Amino acid sequence: MSLFELGAILLVLTAAFGWINHRLAYLPHTVGLLVMGLGASLVIIGAEAALPGLLHYEDLVRLVRQVGFQETVLDGMLAFLLFAGALHVDAPSLRSRAWTIGSMATLGVVLSTAIIGTGLWAAAQGLGIAMPLPWALVFGALISPTDPVAVLATLKEVKVPSDLQTVMTGETLFNDGVGVVLFAVLLEAAVGGSIEPLHIGQMFFVEALGGAALGGVTGYVAYRAMRAIDDYTIEVLISLALVVGTYAVAARLHMSGPLAVVIAGLLIGSRGPRDAFSDQTQRYLFGFWTLIDEMLNSVLFLLIGLEVLVLRFEPAFGWLMAVAVPLALVARLAAVSGPVLLMGRFRSFLRGTIPVLTWGGLRGGISVALALSIPEVAEKSAILAATYAVVIFTLIVQGLSLRAVIQRVLK
């Protein structure tokens, strides 16, 4: 099947499920698409078990596998979604909470990785599942960072006080850089590579700091180019080139592409409206990226639901999946409590900040994509099962109940 036909099928399914959700289910748009994609997958799996060959199951699995979830998310959608999210962030508010956001995005991710990794390793030993500690820590690294796509999509549906929204947005935009570097280091250790503190520091410096510097440079060049003209079509084109070019260069130089496009988006979003964009350019450029954000979000959440067709889970992993969910919540609580309590000595936080940050720590497509990128080792199936369990729980249960939690604890 051609790439065009594959894209056509995905867009038609997304539009159809979106319409059905809007007319009948009344769920938040992205969660509704996830639920419908997941429901359709489970119906197909059930039909195949009851009446083999009825729905051409293998052909459907081949079709979903052809999408290539890992490449589609990490090497395609992510750059556009992160730039679109960063473009609308209030940079001055972000700077005012820099220490809180920075500590949660670094120390919080490391602490969460340690708690989840050791906890999953202990649970696997008790359940008789082969899960060496290095591979359990790999799972901890890929599931610890909150997913910016999922969190930003949920924040559009849930009203959160602006100060708390700034912290949630800033953390989710920046913790992926740390999480991906940590994942790469622990994955190298798990497959038998030698890990030294100097090597870890070098990887972090090149990937995280290098990516941030690259985004600052390319973002500033694009900003100056936009400032020199007043033509919204060219300026929108420049913004597209900025995203694609920055992400491609970052990949070539082994730098953090996500962090690079976030920095570029923050720079364009904060400086552009002030002295580079006319009213017409602002209307078209921000409207364009809002539309891109909504469309790609819709397709991504549908794909997460459909991915069940490819990820065949073994019944033996059921208890491990059940353990992974509360373990992720406990680790998230620890990861946000430390920075908030520490920074609370110097500035005030809203009452209920810790429960909201804990329950609002959604995981999504990035965690699934990272799990799929693991080499074909014996532990991969168990890690995929645990990853999917946490992702589905956070997106559906936590995502749908976050409004109620906020109303209850922020009174």
102-111 pLDDT per residue, tens: 899 889 999 9
pLDDT of residue 189: 84
> Helices in 344-395 by DSSP H: which ranges?
353-359, 365-372, 380-392
> Helices in 128-205 by DSSP H: which ranges?
133-143, 148-157, 162-190, 197-204
Residues contacting residue 2 through CB under 8 Å, at least 6 positions apart: none
pTM for this predicted structure: 0.90
pLDDT of residue 284: 95
pLDDT of residue 60: 84
pLDDT of residue 376: 87
The CATH code belonging to domain 70-315+328-409 is 1.20.1530.20
Q: How far, in Å, CA of 99 to CA of 103, rounded?
A: 6
Q: How far, in Å, CA of 272 to CA of 286, rounded?
A: 11
Copy the structure tokens of residue 169: 């947005």
Question: What are the residue ranges in the chain where pLDDT is below 50?
Answer: none
pLDDT of residue 194: 61
Residue 338: C-alpha distances to residues 60, 331, 335, 358, 401 (Å): 46, 11, 6, 12, 24
pLDDT of residue 195: 63
DSSP assignment letter at 147: P
